[in-house]
Amino acid sequence: MTVTLMSLQTAVPPTILVQSQVRDVFAAQPGLTRLGARLVQTCFDSAAIDTRHTALAELTLDSDVENPVFYDPATGGLFSPSTKTRNDIFAREATPLFIEAAQKALDACAGIGPEDVTHVVTVSCTGFFNPGPDYKVVRGLGLSPSVQRYHLGFMGCYAAFPALRAAAAFCQADPTAVVLVVSVELCSLHVRSSSDPDTIMGSALFGDGAAAAIVSARELPQPHAVATLDAFETILTPVGEDAMAWNIGDEGFEMVLGTYVPHIIDDHIVGALAPLLGTEPALAAAPYADIKHWAIHPGGRSILDKVEAKLGLSEEQLVPARAILRSHGNMSSATVLFVLKHILENDDGVPGPVGGAGERICSMAFGPGLTVETALLTKVAPAP
C-alpha cells in the first residue's frame, strides 16, 4: 500500500525580523559581558540568516505597541517576561497559525474536504494549552467531532518525523484514513538577553512558522507534485545527551545547543543513515549524492556544512535547506516541512531522474538526545 503526502502548505506570522537589526539590539543590551557582546556579533553574523518571522509584533524597531512585554523600542531594552506570560501569548498567537496552515493544506488537497479527515496530529515544543491545538484545529476547520486527535509536544526539531510516521501508520491500518498533520512553533517567544553562549545561539537562529500536511493512501487527483512516504527510521547517537536540550525555565524555555553538535553529526550521520537506506539495498550501495533531493533540517549553517561535506553532496542538493534557513531561520519542528515543500515545488537544477518513476528524497532532522530522525520519500510529478 502506498501512503502519500498529498499536500504540504506553510504559514508564517506577518512580522519580519531583519537579522542585522536584531543583532544590534541584542549587542546593545546592558549587562552583557565583553565576551557575550562578541558572541552576539559572531553568532548572528555567521548564522547565514537574513530574515525570520515572529508572532511578536513588538519586536520590530518601529513597533508602537502600548505596554510592551518583550521589547521597548523607545529605550532599546529587552525585557524578561515570565514563562506564564510567554505561554499565554503562545496560546493566543499559535491558535490562528494552526488553523491557517491546516486550512491551506486541506484546500490544496484535491478531492478531500473537512468531512474526510479522520485523524489530526498536532506538533509543537514552544508552548502548551488545553483544550489544545488539536481541538482548535477540529473546531476551526469544522471537522467531525469524532476525529481522532493526537498531540506531540516538546520533542524538539525532529518532531515532524514522528508525526508523519504516525500518519503513515494510521493509513496503513485503515486505507480510507485521511490524516491532517500540523506543526506550529513560536520559538521567538523564548528569546532573552544573556551572555550564555547557548542562549545567544538560540536568539540568533530561531524563528516562528507553521506547516501542515494531508497524508492518505486514498487514490486522489494529483494536480501538483506529491511525495510517497516510503520509510522512516530513528537513531539515538551514542553521545550527545547533554549537547542538545530544551528545558523549562522561569523566564521561558531554555535552549541548549552545544558547539559540539555539528561534530557529533559529522561522526555519526553515516551510521544514522544506514538503517534507512538499508531498506533499499540499491540505495545503500550507491553514493549518497545519487539520491537527487536532500531535505535536511537546517538546525544551523555549520550543521548543513557538515552534512554536505560528510556525505559528499553537491551545493545544489543543499539549496532547499539553506534557502529556508536564510529566509526563515530555524523554526524547530516545522522547518523540515518548509524544506520538503521547497523540493516539491521547485527544481534546483540537481541532476537525476525527472518525472516518470519519481525522484527520491532523503530527509533528516536532529534534536535532543541527540536524536536523528530520517525519512525516505519519492517525489511524484503531477498526474497528466
* C-alpha to C-alpha distance for 211 and 163, rounded to whole angstroms: 12
Exposed, middle or buried: residue 74 (CB in 10 Å: 0-12, 13-18, 19+)? exposed
C-alpha cell recorded at residue 95: 491558535
Strands, E, within 217-358: which ranges?
Answer: 226-236, 244-249, 252-257, 293-296
Identify the residue whose cell numbers are 555549520.
302
User: Is the peptide bond preceding residue 370 cis, with omega within 30 degrees of 0?
Assistant: yes
Active-site residue, 157 included: yes
Identify the residue whose cell numbers are 545567544.
200
From residue 319, alpha-carbon distances to 148, 222, 255, 263, 338 in Å are: 37, 25, 27, 22, 12
Residues in the chain: 384
Catalytic pick from 109, 125, 157, 171? 157
In contact, 225 and 381? CB cutoff 8 Å: yes
Catalytic residue positions, numbered: 157
